[in-house]
Chains A and B, each alone.
Chain A
Amino acid sequence: MSAAAKILLIEDDPGITNTLQRVLAEEGYEVAVEKRGDNGLARAATEQFHVVISDLKVPGTNGLEIVRQLHAAQPRLPIILVTAYGTTETAIEAMKFGAYDYLLKPFDFPP
């Protein structure tokens, strides 16, 4: 790979953005952070990302809406939804909307 893969992280919890950004940077990814859903959508429309990781509950636009709109605009862009709520219903809905995966917080960091 010539350049580092770019990840857009849409998350409003500073503890998570901080650690996740560092973990992903150590793994060799370039990470951009947006704290609001609407800002995240706008950024994804203007910049090119390889993966989008979004929280389900962020201010602005909620995670399911982000998946729906982003998947409609860029069907090949993998979107991973993360949530602390975790009900089967939202997981199924997220997959229907085109999410690539659905992770429940606190997710594991494999060594």
Chain B
Amino acid sequence: LRWGRALGKAHYESRGLIVSQASRTIEEVWVLQLVSLGCLFAFAVTLAVMAYRHMILPLRAKVVAGQALLERQEKLVSLGMLAAGVAHEIRNPLTAIKGALFLQQRKFQPGTPEYADARLAEREILRLEKIVSDFLLFARPSELQLTRTAADAPLREVQSLLAPELAKNGVQLILEESPPVQILVDSAQIKQVLINLIRNAADAIAHSGVVRLRARPARKRMARSDTEVVILEVADNGTGIPPEVEKRLFDPFFTTKEAGTGLGLSIAAGIVQKHGGAIEYQTRVDYGTTFGIILPQTTG
């Protein structure tokens, strides 16, 4: 009987022990559950923040940038229409003025003041024509006709086009050897950019000097990622760009030239931007300037 009681007591004690331990275990499980829920919540919050920062925020930025681009394009379209209208209104009277001047000019003898006046009027008409056509190029850029081409092909073409004219003014236009890299561009428009840059370079050379053309592959940070690019460079050993001019370099209608329209660089920048590229430059007063047209490299 004594054995029986002892056994009963031990049974109850062990049961109590088990029950108390079990309730402790349950408490611990609760704590653990709470902790893990907390961790899960923190993880979810972190994940959400990361997703927002890296995925949603850039998308929102893209949407905003897209809208800005759209607004800019809409503005450009209306500016283009306005420019075309203005061009029409100016070109018609210019044609009449040119015709009238042609009729008058026949009556004047070379060497007379009348003849000189007529020549002056003729030159000024040409200047107006240039302003109108440059403004049209700036305000109504044409659609890109992209073709894959060797990076030095447009350089070669503008070199043969402009070298004789520049040589007359003591400026050598040299095409340097370039590695075989390819670009996807509208050749006519890229040549237009090169012509504008080369003319600026030649104008920066007072008496005699050299303008060098080259294409070089590089790695640049474009639109937030490192990209293989090709830089088409126009380097001169001219006067360099003074700081006060540098500030307004890309402003439309800003010019330091007597007969300039101030649209050359604006047109150039617009064309290069449409190619997904950018224009960079380094300049040092009295040593010269190097302009670079950065374009994405194409493979295959």
The interface of chain A, by Cβ under 8 A from chain B, is 13, 15-16, 18-20, 22-23, 26, 57, 84-85, 87-88, 104-109, 111
- The residues of A that contact B88 with a CB separation of less than 8 Å are 57, 84-85
Given contacts A85-B84, A106-B91, contact A18 B96 (CB under 8 A): yes
The interface of chain B, by Cβ under 8 A from chain A, is 84, 87-88, 91-100, 102-103, 105-106, 125, 129, 142
From DSSP, what is the main secondary structure of chain B's interface residues? helix
Closest chain A residue, CB of each to CB of B87: A84
- The answer to whether B99 touches A105, judged by C-beta atoms less than 8 angstroms apart, is no
Query: Lowest 3 A-B CB distances belong to which pairs?
Result: A19-B99, A15-B96, A84-B91
CA distance A57 to B92 in the complex (A): 11
CA distance A19 to B100 in the complex (A): 6
- Give the residue of B96, B102, B106 whose beta carbon is less than 8 angstroms from that of A13: B96
Closest chain B residue, CB of each to CB of A26: B103
- The residues of A that contact B94 with a CB separation of less than 8 Å are 105-106
CA distance A23 to B98 in the complex (A): 11
Closest chain B residue, CB of each to CB of A88: B142
- The answer to whether B92 touches A15, judged by C-beta atoms less than 8 angstroms apart, is yes
Given contacts A106-B125, A106-B129, contact A22 B92 (CB under 8 A): no
Given contacts A84-B88, A84-B91, A85-B87, contact A109 B96 (CB under 8 A): no
Given contacts A106-B125, A106-B129, contact A22 B99 (CB under 8 A): yes
CA distance A20 to B105 in the complex (A): 15
CA distance A16 to B95 in the complex (A): 6
Q: Shortest beta-carbon distance, B2 to chain A, in Å?
A: 117
Closest chain B residue, CB of each to CB of A17: B96
- The answer to whether B103 touches A105, judged by C-beta atoms less than 8 angstroms apart, is no
- The residues of A that contact B105 with a CB separation of less than 8 Å are 111
